[in-house]
Structure formats: C-alpha cells, structure tokens
Amino acid sequence: MAERETKETAPPLEAKQGETGWFLAGLEALLARAKRRKWVIAAACFVALAGAFSAAAALFALALVLAAALLSPARERLPEKAMAARGIGHPAAAAPTASALILAIPDPCLLLSSDGRVLNHNAAASELFGRIEAGRPVSALLRAPEIAAALRQAQRGGEAVRVDYFERVPIDRWFEAHIAPIDGAEGPGTAAFLLLLHDRTKQQRVERMRVDFIANASHELRTPLAALAGFIETLQGPARDDPEARARFLDIMRAQAQRMSRLVDDLLSLSRIELNAHIRPSARVDLAAVVAGVADSLTPLATAAGVKIEVARPDGPVPVAGDRDELAQVFQNLIENAIKYGADGGRVEVIVETAESSGEVAVAVRDHGPGIAPEHLPRLTERFYRVDVASSREKGGTGLGLAIVKHILNRHRGTLHVASTPGAGATFTVRLKLSDDEAGRGKAIAG
C-alpha cells in the first residue's frame, strides 16, 4: 500500500520539477536576450506595471514574457571566420562594394590602387579609353599632369581632390576629375582611390559657340546690312520715281537678304556640329549610296553651269559608322564647290575607293578648274577664309563650307586632304574608317 502511495505521489513531484525547469529555461533565455535586445526593458516595465495591481498579475505578466522569450528563436552570432567569409564587419569587404559601385556610375570611373594602378573600371571608362588592362598605371591612360598632381595630393592628404583638365587628342574635350580615397578597398589597413571623370565638353562648347557666333555674325552681317540700308535710303530718295533703278536695286537687295540667310544657316549648322563634335556617330551608313545620291541632287546645278558629274564607286555597299545627313552635307559642299569654282574644266570627278590594307574608304572630289595656289591650302578650312573674296561672294559662298566639312569629319574621326596645282584643278579627298573590313570592296564602276 505504501509503495502504491509513493508511486501515486511521484507524478506531482516530477510535474513540479518540470515547471521549475521551464521557468529557469525561460529566465535563462530572457537573460541571454537581455544582453543583446533592448526590448527586455519594455518587458520589465510591463511586469512592474502589472505588479502595481496585484502579485498575481505580476506573476502572470512575467509568465507571458518568459513564454515569448522561449518561443521566439534566438539567432546566434556568427563565428568570426564565417563573418569574414561573408564580408561582415571586415575592412576587406570594401573591395567588392567599391567595384559594384563604380559599375553603376554612368560617368567614366576607375578604381585605382594605392600606387596608382587600375584595379577596376566601368563601361563608360572602356568607351572613353578603349581596352583597359588591370594593373596598368593610370598615367598610361591619362597623360595629363593635372591628374598626376591631383592623385599625389590625394595620396599625401587622404582627402578628395577636384581638378579640371583639357584633352586635344583625338578631339578637344574638357573634363572635371574627382579623386577620392577609399579606406580598406584592398584589404585591412589599405587604401585605394576612386577616379571619376565628368565630361564638361558640351558646356564649354556652348559657351565658345555663343562667343564665336556673336563675333562672326556681327562681322559678316555688317556688309549686307550696310548694303540694304544704302539701297533703302536710295529708293526713298533719288530713285523714288525711277522704276528701272528701283527694279535693279530690289534685285540686289534680294540677293543680299539671301546671302544673310545662307550665312545664318551655315553658322547655325556649324554650331550644331561643334556642339556634338565629341560624340562619335555609331549608325551604319552606306557611303557609296550617300555620294551617289548627292551627285544626283546636284546634277541640275552642274548642268546649268555646263559641268558634267562623273561618279565611280564600288559595285557593293561601303558601310561606315556615321550620321547620314552630316556625311551628305560633306559631299554636297565639296561637289558644289567643285562645280562653282572648277566650272572651266567642264567636268567634276567623284571617285569612291576602299583600301584593304588600312580598312579605310577614300572619296576624292576632283575638278579641272584653275586650281589653288599653295599658300592658300593650309587655311582653306578656316572660318570665313576665301581664296578670292569677290568671286566667293559673287557665287553665293559664305566662307563656312569647308569649315563645316572639317568639323563633321572630326566628329566622324575622318580626315580631309587637299591637293592642287595652279592651272590643273584641285582634289579634295575624304578618308573614313570602314565599319566592316570585308564589306564594300569591289571593282569601281562608272555611275
């Protein structure tokens, strides 16, 4: 009987021990969280507030807090090696972060080591510099003393540096460079440098365009405006009742107004081209078709001047990267000049040839007129430069045609070569890179 009573009283004792264990486990979990969690302060306030009403309420509140501590899984702190592997709390984690950062920046950006070598770069930098090899000194990419001095200053002072610099090759470009140190980018206790290049070419060109436009327009428009003012004064005075003089003067006034219109159009066209000169066109254009189309459009002008246009071109396409309208303007200006100033020869030859060795296409426009003296050749592409001022104005020239040609070819990374012998005509040759070395090669045919 005694044994039976002992067995019957045992379960309540085990239950009590289980309850005590549950309470101690919850208290231990609460204390463990108290070291890392600020919410234990709120729990204590909750228990104290409940105790203000009764002891039973306080015990009930404490039981709720302990149950919450047990039921909510605690996240253990990662070991140091695991944290380092994940890049948490370790200076070396800055390296992938810095690389990811520069890849997201739209402007050209380079990540440099402490000794100025390229660690990483973004797509904009590849577009600007071409192929960039890791470990290459930045001085091999940017041969600008301003950049080298700014990098040394950032290395010595450990602070961000800003500097402006100017490039002339392959075309004029202005940049604003920012160099800033990045601690821990190569590992613990090391520093790298972020080089960011902001292209300010467009802003500079807008300002220069504004100044040049005002200077050129005021100079070139002065003559036709003075002529118009003089004829108007004459028509209001002595020629008021002279129908013959009035008709003659009105024709001259119309010609002067047309000259001013052409001048303004050419100035605006030149300004637009200069504004985007640093952006190379990427569209695929069949240069042979462009040249043939321009020659056809100028046939009526040539016929009126007694000139025949002869075109020789490959029998296939000649693809180049370019802007179709701008390339058409290049050959329109060259062929029109050949018609106007070489009309004495009776014909203008336009020859399109491709060179397998250099991967280039050459378009030569040749007239058989009086030619150009050697001293004039170096200055032909200057704005408003004319070999014969009177003849140029008589033929409707503005002095900007070849300047427009030069700036369009600069944008297309092309070249213009002029060869002339007095009395034997002149040849203007345009050279451009083929977009596909295997395309557009064939035997020249007359067209």
Q: Quick one: pLDDT at residue 414?
A: 92
**DSSP string computed for 282-316:** --EEEHHHHHHHHHHHTHHHHHHTT-EEEEEEESS
Domains 204-278 and 280-447 share a fold: no
Domain ranges (residues) in the chain: 2-71, 91-199, 204-278, 280-447
DSSP state of 403: H
The CATH number given to 204-278 is 1.10.287.130
Architecture of domain 280-447 in CATH?
2-Layer Sandwich (3.30)
At the fourth CATH level, which superfamily is domain 91-199?
Answer: PAS domain (3.30.450.20)
In a 3-state reduction of DSSP, which class is residue 384?
A: coil
Q: Quick one: pLDDT at residue 396?
A: 61
- Token reading at 426: 């002149």
- Token reading at 51: 């105790």
Rounded Cα gap, residues 75 and 92, in angstroms: 25
Q: What is the mean pLDDT of each run of 10 residues along the chain (447 residues)?
A: 43 47 58 55 59 61 57 50 42 54 87 88 87 87 87 87 83 86 63 87 76 69 80 83 84 84 80 78 92 92 90 91 93 92 84 86 92 86 74 68 90 92 90 68 39
DSSP state of 445: E
Q: Phi and psi dihedrals of 44, rounded to 5?
A: -65, -40
Q: Quick one: pLDDT at residue 96?
A: 54
The closest alpha carbon to 69, from 28, 41, 20, belongs to 28
- Token reading at 81: 């090696």
Q: How far is CA 387 from the centre of its chain?
A: 37
Distances, alpha carbon 209 to alpha carbons 167, 204, 275, 362, 408, in Å? 18, 8, 8, 31, 16
Q: Quick one: pLDDT at residue 91?
A: 38
